[in-house]
A and B are shown apart, each in its own frame.
Chain A
Amino acid sequence: MILANYLAAVALFGVGLYVLLTRRNLIKIVMGLSLMEASTYLFMVSLAYRAGSTAPILLSPPAGKTAKQLAHGNVADPVLQNFCLTAVVIGVAVTSVFLSVVVRIAQHYRTLDADRVRAMRG
């Protein structure tokens, strides 16, 4: 029942969005963004899953099968695993950009409350 995984990813995304919309603490806003990011990882890995499948490795095919047959058979989707792999690394770098901006804001305004950072308001 992979649908449960999909819905869990949606719920995680919803929680992240809620945090993003309602919290005023900048660290928590970054945490909300990370939650939304994590929900896409869960979604992509779940989307790659096939019932009763093996890992997409052509190393030693089961007896009587060639690697070419394996490609047409039951393996998990390697493309989505690749998306996930690169997304995790980019996610770490982007989160560090967010956090460094938050640290600079905290240093200049002496607060983490987004509502008190008013310099950009007209």
Chain B
Amino acid sequence: MTRTSIDDGRALDRAARREATEREPLHRPWIGALLAAGMAAVLGVAMWRIPREHAPLPLIARYALEIAIPRWKLTEPVNEIVYGTRGFDTFGETFLLLAAVVSVVVITRSREPRRGYFGESAAGAREQQRDDPKVGSDAAEREARSAERREQDDQAPQGGERAETPDATPLGTPAPETAEAMTVVVRNAIRVVLPILAVAGLYLVTWGYSPGGGFPAGAVILGVLLLVYASYGRRKISKVIRPGLIEPLELAGAGLIIMTEFLGLVFRGSFSANWLPLAPMMTPLSGGVAQLFSAAELIEVGTGLIIAVFALLGMTHDWVRDDDDTSAGPPGGGERER
């Protein structure tokens, strides 16, 4: 280790300590407080005149309650509104969700093998080597890269082999932990809770008289996967949570929603009209097209939220991935030629 790299490490240490003790930066707190209080005062005044708990229901709510059973055979007006009366609105909101998910995917996507090789980084590394071979990575960078690799890749942690499954990890393993899995108590508790949550989520969709259908059910499915992730670690769900599987599923959900709504235009002359026969009330198929919409929404919301949340959790550095042997690698890493 050279003298400069030791100095660099110390400087970084000092900077980190300073940042930890630094006071929370505030930007003009008094003006902020004044503006926020003014806004709250205006909204507070507005609140005096809006309907309160004794006001009659608005006409749109009454209309929805009246047609829920005769027109949709649905005993749950919230469901009727989401997928029936306000079906077109829900259709738009779904694509707002899709837009948000696509944004997250675009922002978080890491480098991936490309069909056409551009080779900028390898060419840059070669040029660097030719013109200024002295520039190399310092100790801090090497340490950061190896820590990153430990975190991202499935390499054995320092000081021992990784256990086959989280359950096989001996109790009371000395720190630092790799945050691969939680304790045996949490894992067992989650083992009990998971099937209940999964069944509850699917129940919400299957029975048309659960409020909201696919929307809350999709969120429950995300919760199930997040629990598995938090308790057992990333490897346990990596077979299910991969873009190659989840992204086509999401697009299939979006396609199903478009088809469900568009066939109303084809068969009934109105977008989002019901074109399926209505099953008797309080059966899984009551509600006609509302149930199909709800199931498609489960796919769309479930996979959309899974993509957004796991893309965020799995965000890696967007710098160039280093070669296998970083210490002997070219300056600044370097991408392998494909």
Report B-chain residues with C-beta under 8 Å of the C-beta of A68.
66, 69
Report B17-37 CB contacts with A as 1/0, cut-off 8 Å: 000000011111101110111
Q: Nearest Cβ distance between residue A88 and chain B, in whole angstroms? A: 7
Given contacts A17-B39, A100-B107, is CB(A113)–CB(B301) below 8 Å? no
Minimum CB distance partner of B31 in chain A: A21
Given contacts A77-B57, A89-B218, is CB(A115)–CB(B78) below 8 Å? no
CA of A44 to CA of B227, assembled, Å: 29
Report B106-132 CB contacts with A as 1/0, cut-off 8 Å: 011000000000000000000000000
Given contacts A6-B50, A11-B40, is CB(A107)–CB(B318) below 8 Å? yes
| Contact A50–B96 (Cβ < 8 Å) | no
Report B53-86 CB contacts with A as 1/0, cut-off 8 Å: 1110110111011101100000111101110001
| Contact B47–A7 (Cβ < 8 Å) | yes
- Per the 8 Å Cβ criterion, residues 91-122 of A in contact with B are 92-94, 96-97, 99-101, 103-104, 107, 113-115
Report A-chain residues with C-beta under 8 Å of the C-beta of B311.
96, 100
Report A-chain residues with C-beta under 8 Å of the C-beta of B51.
47
Total interface residues on B, CB under 8 Å, equals: 70
- Select the stretch in B208-216, B232-240, B266-274 that faces chain A: B208-216
- Majority secondary structure of chain A interface residues (helix, strand, loop or mixed): helix
| Contact B78–A85 (Cβ < 8 Å) | yes
Report B-chain residues with C-beta under 8 Å of the C-beta of A70.
65
Total interface residues on A, CB under 8 Å, equals: 54
CA of A71 to CA of B209, assembled, Å: 16
Report A-chain residues with C-beta under 8 Å of the C-beta of B209.
57, 59
Report A-chain residues with C-beta under 8 Å of the C-beta of B55.
50
The 8 Å CB contact of A100, one of B40, B43, B312, B317, is: B312
Minimum CB distance partner of B106 in chain A: A100
The 8 Å CB contact of B107, one of A17, A94, A97, is: A97
Report B-chain residues with C-beta under 8 Å of the C-beta of A94.
100
Minimum CB distance partner of A53 in chain B: B53
CA of A68 to CA of B55, assembled, Å: 19
Given contacts A13-B39, A59-B282, A71-B65, is CB(A21)–CB(B27) below 8 Å? yes
Q: Nearest Cβ distance between residue B185 and chain A, in whole angstroms? A: 28
Minimum CB distance partner of B107 in chain A: A100
| Contact B219–A96 (Cβ < 8 Å) | no
Minimum CB distance partner of B219 in chain A: A89
Q: Is B309 an interface residue when CB atoms closer than 8 A count as contact?
A: yes
CA of A64 to CA of B24, assembled, Å: 63
Report B-chain residues with C-beta under 8 Å of the C-beta of A22.
26-29, 32-33
| Contact A58–B68 (Cβ < 8 Å) | yes
Report B-chain residues with C-beta under 8 Å of the C-beta of A71.
62, 65-66, 68
Report A-chain residues with C-beta under 8 Å of the C-beta of B76.
57-59
Report B-chain residues with C-beta under 8 Å of the C-beta of A14.
36-37, 39-40, 43
Report B-chain residues with C-beta under 8 Å of the C-beta of A77.
57-58, 61
Q: Is A3 an interface residue when CB atoms closer than 8 A count as contact?
A: yes
CA of A35 to CA of B36, assembled, Å: 13
The 8 Å CB contact of A51, one of B37, B54, B90, is: B54
Q: Is B101 an interface residue when CB atoms closer than 8 A count as contact?
A: yes
| Contact A97–B82 (Cβ < 8 Å) | no
CA of A10 to CA of B60, assembled, Å: 26
| Contact A100–B315 (Cβ < 8 Å) | yes
| Contact A10–B36 (Cβ < 8 Å) | no
Which residues from chain A sit less than 8 Å from chain B, CB to CB? 2-3, 6-7, 10-11, 13-15, 17-18, 21-25, 47, 49-51, 56-59, 67-68, 70-72, 75, 77-79, 81-82, 85-86, 88-90, 92-94, 96-97, 99-101, 103-104, 107, 113-115
Q: Can you list 14 contacts pairing A with B, beta carbon distance less than 8 Å?
A: A6-B50, A10-B43, A18-B36, A25-B25, A58-B68, A58-B75, A59-B75, A67-B75, A90-B93, A93-B101, A93-B305, A99-B312, A103-B108, A115-B25
